[in-house]
Amino acid sequence: MTSQNFDGKNDTITPEQVQYWDQKHLIHPWSEFSEDGFDMTQVSRADGIYLYDAHGNKLIDGPGGMWCVNIGYGRKEMADAISEQIMKMTYSSPWFTTNEPAAMLAKVITEKTPGDLNRVFFSNGGSDAVDTALRFVQYRNNVIGKPDKKKILCREKGYHGSSYLAATVSGTGREHDRRYMDTHHDLAIMLPNINPYMRPTGTSVEEWCNAKISEMEETILSIGPDQIGCFIAEPILASGGVIVPPPGYHKRSLELCKKHDIVYISDETVTGFGRLGHWFASKEIFGIQPDIITCAKGLTSGYLPMGAAIISESLIDSIKNKDGSQPFTNGYTYSCHPVAAKAALTNIDIMSRDGILEHVRKISPHFQNRLRNLGKKYDIIGDARGVGLLGCLEGLGSKNSSEEARLKIDTEFGQMMDEACEKRGLLVRPIINMCVFSPPLIITQSEIDDMFDILEDAIVEVQQNYS
């Protein structure tokens, strides 16, 4: 790559220069502002499931970007479709015009959603899709004369984004945030962790589920159902560490919502568009019909930013015959963006044509098998969990190791695995004592084996050093 310097000469841009600009000028998500800059892996190009760093090293993209690059990198037909749409019509205001890609995408999405989830609001990503869903519930309750029904039930370890409202309903982040990042605490009612791995010794998964449902109902009754507008839940709590709720939990929590007239929002930002082998996971995998689904990420496979809040026809109908002439004053300059919509349509075409959902369903048992075998084989793995092409390894300090080694595993296992994997050619996402992965959905069985072989070697290294 070249750049023009101030003398007008072309200089080659070095990886060191990029690193310097990064540390001097760029603020990344969830940045720490410490004195020392942090050397991030510099990614220069990507193809299929692979990233190449600035030194030419080839890395399997374990996290699939950020749970998003579902069809893999470098698809020429995506580039062509995006470029054609730019030349045809780059932008149209969603306030007073419509355009073919956005309208067609809304139709195509609603053909894939369960039940009467027929109305689509487009956003720029997941956070504002969540904001839109929550603001819609508030708006609706004002319109139908229930202005007190506004509180939001949400969950510890849930993550719904970084806008003020999405962060308010996110449990993940609060562990760090409490003293430094403000949220609207009064609005959110945080239900305790549902992770079956956290259940007390001697408690069965079924008993744990019963306890979680009772806890939820007691909370609803103590706050008062007339105060609670909605419940927001990820089918799998992704950023909280790929937490798979106990069997039956989703159905029973939906039943509670129905019983107490609470809108159920399923945040499928991660699970939507194929991660678990279906367009959406709520109905197909967990058997629930939400009132609203939010999605983003896999919608465009990360080629362009876009998200959506998909709202049921019955919720819309319930305001039509009330004060529905009051506008829902929520919107973004880039809602209904024609180029992003074209990317999403092309992404969906590729997924359908290449049978990517079927591929995920076929390949997931092998992925999950290899994941669970690591949990069985190594003491340092406290839990190996996942579903579809989502996985998490949670580290556990050995009872026989020193206090210092145990503390290190409890706080830095993710980081240690990240380092041990990267030098072997795999990126993972470290989260405190966990490392998580969600590779592009096009990954083959032999690439899954490559990935787990590296994970296994990395575990051996970390275990040798800290047990």
Ligand X SMILES: Cc1ncc(COP(=O)(O)O)c(C=O)c1O
Residues contributing to the site for ligand X (CB under 6 A)? 125-127, 130, 159-161, 234, 238-239, 267, 269-270, 296, 307
Report the alpha-carbon distance of residue 445 to residue 204 in Å, rounded.
33
Task: Tell me if 115 sits within 8 A of 312, measured CB to CB.
Answer: yes
We find the least distance from the C-beta atom of residue 167 to ligand X, in angstroms, to be 10
What is the rounded CA–CA span in Å between residue 327 and residue 438?
Answer: 39
* Closer of 123 and 463 to ligand X (Cβ): 123
Place of tokens 């129905």: 258
CA-wise closest residue to 259 among 235, 231, 287: 231
- The torsion region of residue 38 among left (phi > 0), alpha (psi -120 to 50) and beta comes to beta
- Give dist(CA 332, CA 309) in Å, integer: 13
In this complex, which beta carbon is closest to ligand X, that of residue 136 or of residue 452?
A: 136
Q: Toward ligand X, which CB reaches closer, 236 or 416?
A: 236
Tell me the closest approach of the beta carbon of residue 240 to ligand X, in angstroms: 9
Distances (CA, A) of 343 to 101, 165, 301, 350: 9, 28, 9, 10
Q: Which two tokens mark 313?
A: 């026809």
Q: C-beta of 264: minimal distance to ligand X in Å?
A: 15
Q: Closest Cα to residue 133, out of 308, 325, 253, 334?
A: 308
CB-nearer residue toward ligand X: 66 or 144: 66
Residue 23's closest CA among 35, 10, 37? 37
Least separation in angstroms between CB 238 and ligand X = 5
CA-CA distances (angstroms) from residue 461 to 406, 416, 417, 464? 15, 9, 9, 5
- Closest approach of Cβ 294 to ligand X, in Å? 7
101 or 125, CB closer to ligand X?
125
CA distances to 27, 65, 411 from 301, in Å: 24, 9, 32
> 99: Cβ–Cβ under 8 A, 6 or more apart, which residues?
89, 92, 336, 338, 341
Is the CB of 66 or the CB of 205 nearer to ligand X? 66
**Which CB atom, from 269 or from 301, has the smaller least distance to ligand X?**
269
DSSP state of 298: G
* b (16+ CB within 10 A) / e for 410-443: eebbbebbbbbbbebebbbbbbebbbbbbbbbbb
Q: Minimum Å distance from CB 129 to ligand X?
A: 7
Nearest CB to ligand X, comparing residues 304 and 348: 304
Spatial separation of the C-alpha atoms in residues 48 and 441, rounded to whole Å: 10
Least separation in angstroms between CB 295 and ligand X: 9
- Whichever of 269 and 463 has its CB closer to ligand X, that residue is 269
Q: What is the closest distance, in whole angstroms, from the C-beta atom of residue 234 to ligand X in the complex?
A: 5
Residue closer to ligand X (CB basis): 241 or 397 = 241
CB of 393 to ligand X, least distance (A): 19
Nearest residue to ligand X, scored by beta-carbon proximity: 126
> How near is the Cβ of 387 to ligand X at its closest, in Å?
15
Q: Does residue 280 contact residue 293 with C-beta atoms inside 8 Å?
A: yes
